[in-house]
Structure 1
Amino acid sequence: MDEPIRNADFSQRVVLATEALPWEASPQPGVARRILDRIGGEVARATSLVRYAPGSTFPEHEHALGEEFLVLEGVFSDEHGDYPAGTYVRNPPASRHSPRTAAGCVIFVKLRQMSLAESVRVVIDTAAFAADGPARLPLFEGPQSGESVAIERLRPGESRARHTSAGGEEILILSGDLVDAYGSYGKGTWIRTPHGMPGSGRSSAGTVFWVKRGHLPAPIRAS
């Protein structure tokens, strides 16, 4: 059964080994997904991994509240261009496109999670950073919302500074390992940490991860 609500309590920490999750068929032939969180049905606030089979397409549609995605495997395409693995894209609210892929692809995608004030489309190739370079590659900074998105790296034996993110933190491990006070996590692990919860961690082998901060609601407290 297709569940309209998954991991929708943003006051809770969630850890998912995404590579162990089953692929669920979508209504569109050739398109399957691993749903990480969702509020709603086919039109939903959602975070997912989406797999397009070779030669598959998706009808033209509008993203009323925006879409952001990171291509993890293969090449994702639409009428605006081709996006190989490592490409980060933000399609702002009210944008439209017709996704397709020739060779097949897997993307990490977040839907209906943008401010209506966003109007600029963003396309960034992160592949060179993933190979080598500085510790952080900024992808988006929302000066009014406080949201930030980046690709970050820890080298072997390096630790993250202890921190508490206002608005929470969300991580997808792209390579390597990450260890914190709660456990050890490998490639493909998705971690959502709620507003105000402290975090830290280290990597023994080195790691590269996508991270978003400042976007989760603060818990509503009784007066």
Structure 2
Amino acid sequence: MINFGFPQDIKLPDDVQFVPYQKGLREGVDIAVIFDETIANPNGPDLAFLRYEPGAYVPGHVHMGFETVLVLNGDYIENGQVFTAGNFIVRAPGTCHSMASKGGCTILASRYIPVKQLTEGWVDEGKNINSDYEAHA
């Protein structure tokens, strides 16, 4: 993780168009796609802004390729670790994680190959333990 040390949260322009993202699986998460090559190639990359409402949660999944995340504002939680504005995260292929936000956040995320979805649950060192995340107990 690299911390760019933003002096304040980054606010996106009002004209960025968000839509619900994977309803039923990623409740409380909206997406604004910048580009998505998976339409032409199922193993292609994508880049998007993701906005998490307070209490939003994403079940565990495995990344088949690299993923990068830049936290623009709020609290972004991966496997129980809290990241804030200016944190830049790089995940290697094979990384397994779940994500959440207690107070809401916006991130810029890029995946180089789509993910493989796992069972529901908060991922912590390879174990699903829902009870550790209060908003989704």
TM-score calculated relative to the size of structure 1: 0.41
Distance 1:18 1:38 in 2: 21
**1:35-184 matches, cutoff 5 A:** 35-40=33-38, 45-112=45-112
Match of 1:30 in 2: 28
Gaps (5+ residues) in structure 1? 1-16, 114-223
3-state DSSP class of the match of 1:58?
strand
Structure with the larger strand share: 1
Query: How far is 1:48 from its partner?
Result: 0.4
Unaligned runs of 5+ in 2: 1-11, 114-137
- Cα contact 1:55–1:104 (8 A) shared by 2: yes
Residues 138-196 of structure 1: CA deviation (Å, up to 9, x unaligned): xxxxxxxxxxxxxxxxxxxxxxxxxxxxxxxxxxxxxxxxxxxxxxxxxxxxxxxxxxx
RMSD: 2.1
Q: CA deviation at 1:19?
A: 4.3
- In structure 2, the CA distance between the partners of 1:112 and 1:58, relative to structure 1 (3 Å rule), is same
Q: Distance in 1 between matches of 2:32 and 2:14?
A: 9
The answer as to whether partners of 1:66 and 1:91 remain within 8 angstroms in 2 is: yes
Structure 2: distance between partners of 1:67 and 1:19: 26
Separation in 1, partners of 2:47, 2:70: 12
Q: Contact 1:52/1:104 (CA < 8 Å) preserved in 2? A: yes
TM-superposition CA deviations, 1:4-63 (whole Å, max 9, x none): xxxxxxxxxxxxx86412111111210001100101259751100000110010010011
Give the direction of change, closer, same or farther, for the CA distance of 1:54–1:44 in structure 2 (3 Å limit). farther
After superposing on structure 2, the runs of 4+ consecutive aligned residues of structure 1 that deviate more than 2 Å are 41-44
Q: Which structure has the larger Rg?
A: 1
8 Å CA contact 1:44, 1:112 repeated in 2:
yes
Q: Which has the higher contact order (CA 8 A, sep 6+)?
A: 2
- C-alpha distance in structure 2 between counterparts of 1:43 and 1:83, whole Å: 28
The amino acid that maps onto 1:34 is A
Residue in structure 2 matched with residue 169 of structure 1 by the alignment: none
